Structure 1
Amino acid sequence: MQLFPPIKPGPTVPENPLRPYMRHRLGGWLPKHPDDFLRWLHGVVASVRDAKRSGNLAEDHASIEKLRELILSNTQVRMYFSLMFEQIPNNEEYQKDPTGKRAIKNWEELLATMNVLLKQSPGWLYNTEGQKGLIGFPFNAILDWPMGTAAGVSAFLREDVCACFKEILNEYKTYLSTPQSANVLDNNNWFSPQALQEMGRVASEGSSHTISFEQAYECDPSAPHYGFQSWDDFFVRKFRPDVRPVYKPDDSAQIVSCCESNPFALKSGVRLVDEFWLKGQPYSLQDMLGNADTAATFEGGTVYQAFLSALSYHCWHAPVSGVVKDAFYIPGSYYAESYWEGFANIDPITGEPDPDPAAPDHSQGYICQVATRAVLIIEADDERIGTMAVVQVGMAEVSSCEWTVKKGDKLEKGQDIGMFHFGGSTHCLIFRRGVELKWVRNPMVADGSTNLPVRGQLAQVV
């Protein structure tokens, strides 16, 4: 059974420009229109409740059962998972669809829903106008509002809870690598005319002319599933040669975009240790890099951060030529968001809670220091750049960050260095103090505009 069908027309909800979830959802990982999101969510939950009533509810997967045992055996964890549903405001904006039905009631129903989603590939959801809806974060979708509560903020930072979610997402990873996961790669779903047109439009943003999906990516439209063997195989698809040429490959002063991404933040004078959990989400180098000695190299330097959209290319490329000094992974959270981007954030006009509608979109600075992430240290050939760092951050389902290079490897600007699996995320480039750069896009803010093309011009050493 596939839980991502076309959305059927439902009751009309009066437009209200002050509704918190109308804020722009960066990257398109969750639907821009709240009614689309609510219809999907309630459709999934309804199928779980129907299965329970008929006695056909599937037995828990091993990873779900482990989380259940933790909740039942640990008083504090059980309290957090109970309170995170009680702390969601009881109104239609957060818990009800246009017909007045509630969404997920409690943690038991949460686990039952997650158990179903573990064997469901992310589908192309579209409404009656053919607009895109939910794309890649089904688990994030059902945890969207619980994450924003005080109890949720605490629960999803706990090491034991994170360990359970790591096993759940590893199980999800295994499924999305199987041939069965390719069942959504057909003409009624990801390769429908609407989906192909939208993916072609996004790919065209970094091209000098309009290109189609088939022209942009290595694929075989005549083969089943366009030649992709699994959902993950489709997700980490490669651009065809020359679709994204390296900008001035022989000019060491030119730094290219590491990912197909949209600028999110640019901050200089970054501290070695800072209180990143505050509302402004400052960068704390020691926490980002997980090592005080490594972090000290960049004290007082610059952090550039950019996010990937749902339909973008998700492989990484070297921003400069140089030598890999180190490549490592840092374990962390999967569904943590800043307390100040949850229900603690109050709209100054209405005085009502104004939480991030696609958590953790607006917590990207914060999660660089707490989420599962991968770090690459590069000694650039250009001495004016010197040592720099690349930090790839796993958000929500995107816990699989994979380096394809290792310590000691010689890098050429623009070459493949790794990839995100099963979703999209955010990344940072970190430069030493004194490295002066001129950026291709100014100001460096998350404006929701077109992506900067991977391997395209990003910055120039001044």
Structure 2
Amino acid sequence: MGCCCATLSKAPAEVTGTYETAVPYYVGKCLPSDEVIVDQWLQKQIEEVERKTPPDPLDQVVQRFKDAIESSAELSMFFGQMFAEVPTNYHKKTPTSRGLVKDYHHMLQIINHVLTKPPEFRDNTTTLTYPITAILTKPMKTIDGYVAFLNPKVNYHMKSILNKWGDFLKSPNSCSVLNTDGWFSAKAIEKMGGNFEDDFICDPSKPHYGFVSWDDFFTRKLQPNARPIAYPDDRRVIVNACESMPFRIEKQVTKHGKFWIKGQPYNLKFMLADDTLAEKFVGGTVYQGLLMLYNYHRWHSPVDGKIVKAFVADGTYYSYPLGNGNEDYNNLPVSDYVQGYLTEVAARAIIFIEADNPYIGLMCFIAVGMLEVSSCEITVKEGQSVKKGQQTGTFHFGGSSHCLIFRPGVELEFDFHGEEPGFNTNSIKINSRIATVPK
């Protein structure tokens, strides 16, 4: 195997297309749906790395991942093959794009490069805030990539790499993008609701609006009364636990659904990390909502009640379900196709709440992480009483979705505020009514 400072291959022929002509739409609202944008960003990172002479040494966490790959016959095979398995016709506009990331040595050097880069905002067509996903988006969807990113050893090292990036995002150096050309530009403010100063605790008179790091900005707190709690004294009303788009409802949920196939029925055994309480929800209802990058990312209790159990389940970080063939390669990750799958395999926080309303009783909240956005912090403790709308935790740098799970027999009248559950809906504010248990 090559050494950690192996010389990078020259970038392939220039990727065709421009940011201006690319489709300004985000699959999963985290990556541009036009591969040209992803490839142009990736090519730019490669060129920046190649200009460094000598190459930067690998960070310790990246070097340990490299050592793990090269000390395992199994991982050496997976990472040796996945880049070769990317179909040559993957990219309709730029057939050379298969070669942008040559092999896992190349992959590790580019990952190493982006560990000290904060997520940027430039405008609706050029923003690419999930850098490691952009590096892995093609090989992770191959057969060898699918198997590799389910491997516990791989996920252990990916977690270490993401934690390293998370440490940088908590440092003052990550504030470089918190300016009027970046996350406080007019377009970014509009994406975050348009009323940033009224909605969030900040100080526009200070540098970076008073935020001391990217993570501090991302986990921003709401101003008092910015999100009023719907019917605070009515225990029949369940409020939205995350600022999110209504995505999906499934009733009569089974414990052993085949979550890896298209359609992806929910599987309670794996969603709830094989917890003994999973049995109580068999035949019940799952509601799933999707968070976008620009949303408020703290979680609130949907009901008055008591925390019965709360824990974080480690999972996968870059596992993408296999499709029926190469036709699925034209859909970049984090589409509606993977959201159900992620509730079973991704890193996630699981909080069981015994609602004060006996007609709700035991329910469960799951905060589902994915890709770079997998850090879940629970801020309540077992045995603690919570009020509806009270904070229960937060994502760090995002989070993909959340689920509310109810027992069988719980009658629910959902309120989506005029939205039709699906992938292209508008977000419903946190603390708004999401469901009612009828009299």
Q: TM-score, normalised by structure 2?
A: 0.90
Which stretch shows the higher mean deviation, 277-286 or 110-119? 277-286
Question: What CA distance in whole angstroms lies between the structure 1 residues aligned with 2:213 and 2:419?
Answer: 39
Q: Give identity over the alignment, percent.
A: 38
Q: Deviations over 1:392-414 (max 9, x none)?
A: 11111122101110101111001
Structure 1 residue 101, shift from structure 2 partner = 8.7
Q: Which runs of 5 or more residues in structure 2 are unaligned?
A: 1-13
Question: What CA distance in whole angstroms lies between the structure 2 residues aligned with 1:224 and 1:443?
Answer: 38
Amino acid at match of 2:36: D
Match of 2:432 in 1: 456
Question: What CA distance in whole angstroms lies between the structure 2 residues aligned with 1:197 and 1:443?
Answer: 20
Find the partner of 1:420 among 382, 395, 417: 395
Match of 1:288 in 2: 271
Q: Which runs of 5 or more residues in structure 1 are unaligned?
A: 1-8, 204-210, 347-351
Find the partner of 1:369 among 317, 340, 344: 344
Find the partner of 1:164 among 140, 157, 167: 157
Match of 1:40 in 2: 41
Distance 1:142 1:283, change over 3 A: same
Alignment pair present for 1:243 and 2:226: yes
Amino acid at match of 2:172: P
Distance 1:145 1:361, change over 3 A: farther
Question: What CA distance in whole angstroms lies between the structure 1 residues aligned with 2:90 and 2:315?
Answer: 33
Match of 1:196 in 2: 189
Question: What CA distance in whole angstroms lies between the structure 1 residues aligned with 2:336 and 2:100?
Answer: 22
Q: Deviations over 1:303-349 (max 9, x none)?
A: 11111001111000001110000111111111111112xxx346xxx
Match of 1:305 in 2: 288
Which stretch shows the higher mean deviation, 276-285 or 107-116? 276-285
Structure 1 residue 426, shift from structure 2 partner = 1.0
Question: What CA distance in whole angstroms lies between the structure 1 residues aligned with 2:234 and 2:45?
Answer: 52
User: Which aligned pairs between 1:34-433 and structure 2 lie closer than 5 A?
Assistant: 34-51=35-52, 54-55=53-54, 57-91=55-89, 93=91, 96=94, 102-126=99-123, 131-199=124-192, 203=193, 211-340=194-323, 344-345=324-325, 352-359=327-334, 362-433=337-408
The count of corresponding residues between Structure 1 and Structure 2 is: 424
The answer as to whether partners of 2:246 and 2:419 remain within 8 angstroms in 1 is: no
Amino acid at match of 1:173: G
Match of 1:439 in 2: 414
Question: What CA distance in whole angstroms lies between the structure 1 residues aligned with 2:380 and 2:93?
Answer: 45
Question: What CA distance in whole angstroms lies between the structure 2 residues aligned with 1:119 and 1:86?
Answer: 29
Distance 1:277 1:33, change over 3 A: closer
Distance 1:82 1:125, change over 3 A: farther
- Over aligned residues, Cα RMSD in angstroms? 2.5
Give the secondary-structure state (helix, strand or coil) at the position aligned to 1:152.
helix
Distance 1:268 1:355, change over 3 A: farther
Question: What CA distance in whole angstroms lies between the structure 2 residues aligned with 1:224 and 1:94?
Answer: 44
Structure 1 residue 280, shift from structure 2 partner = 2.1
Structure 1 residue 160, shift from structure 2 partner = 0.5
Q: TM-score, normalised by structure 1?
A: 0.86
Question: What CA distance in whole angstroms lies between the structure 2 residues aligned with 1:262 and 1:345?
Answer: 29
The answer as to whether partners of 1:22 and 1:32 remain within 8 angstroms in 2 is: yes
Q: Deviations over 1:138-194 (max 9, x none)?
A: 111211111211111100000010111111111111111111111111122212233
Question: What CA distance in whole angstroms lies between the structure 2 residues aligned with 1:23 and 1:214?
Answer: 27
Question: What CA distance in whole angstroms lies between the structure 1 residues aligned with 2:146 and 2:90?
Answer: 22
Q: Deviations over 1:231-273 (max 9, x none)?
A: 1000001121212111111111111100000122111111122
The answer as to whether partners of 2:254 and 2:266 remain within 8 angstroms in 1 is: yes
Question: What CA distance in whole angstroms lies between the structure 2 residues aligned with 1:372 and 1:179?
Answer: 27
Question: What CA distance in whole angstroms lies between the structure 1 residues aligned with 2:67 and 2:23?
Answer: 37
Question: What CA distance in whole angstroms lies between the structure 1 residues aligned with 2:292 and 2:157?
Answer: 27
Give the secondary-structure state (helix, strand or coil) at the position aligned to 2:51.
helix
The answer as to whether partners of 2:25 and 2:125 remain within 8 angstroms in 1 is: no
Question: What CA distance in whole angstroms lies between the structure 2 residues aligned with 1:101 and 1:294?
Answer: 46
Question: What CA distance in whole angstroms lies between the structure 1 residues aligned with 2:168 and 2:379?
Answer: 22
Structure 1 residue 357, shift from structure 2 partner = 1.0
Question: What CA distance in whole angstroms lies between the structure 2 residues aligned with 1:101 and 1:372?
Answer: 29
Give the secondary-structure state (helix, strand or coil) at the position aligned to 1:305.
strand
